[in-house]
Amino acid sequence: MNCPKCESTQIIKYGHTHYGKPRFRCQNCGRQFVEDATRQPIDEATRELIDKLLLLRIALAAIARVTGVSERWLQMYVNQKFYQVSKTSEVTQKTGSVDNASLCS
C-alpha cells in the first residue's frame, strides 16, 4: 500500500473510521487515509457494457451484479448520465427549431 499523496510506503495503522474500516497514516507526509476498494475507478470497457445494459432497461441491481460495480456507484453513474443526456437534448432541440425557422422563411 502506498500513500495517496506522496506514494511513500511508510504507512502505519491509525485507528478506525466510524464504519469500522482501518485508517492509516503516512509517516512521510502525515496524510491520513482509508484503504477503500469502492473508490477504484471503473474502466472504460465496463462503462460501455453498463451503457448497453442500461439501454436494454435491465434493473440496476442486475447490472451491478453482472459488471461487478457497486449499486451505489451505478446509481451515481446513471444520475450523472441522465443529467448529461437531458442537457444534450435541450441543445439539439434548440438547433432543430432554428433549422425549421429558416426552412419556413
Contact with Zn ion (CB under 5 A) among 6, 58, 76, 98 = 6
- Residues in 14-43 that interact with Zn ion by CB under 5 A: 26, 28-29, 31
Burial code (b: 16+ CB inside 10 Å, e: under 16) for 23-49 equals ebbbeeeeeeeeeeeeeeeeeeeeeee
Beta carbon nearer to Zn ion, 30 or 96:
30
- The residue among 4 and 96 lying less far from Zn ion, judged by its C-beta, is 4
Beta strand extents in 1-105 (DSSP E only): 11-16, 22-26, 32-34
C-alpha cell at 99: 433549422
Closest contact distance (angstroms) between CB of 5 and Zn ion is 5
Nearer to Zn ion, 26 or 69 (CB): 26
Asked if 69 contacts 40 with a C-beta cutoff of 8 angstroms, the reply is no
Judged by the rule CB under 5 A, the positions of this chain that interact with Zn ion are: 3, 5-6, 8, 26, 28-29, 31
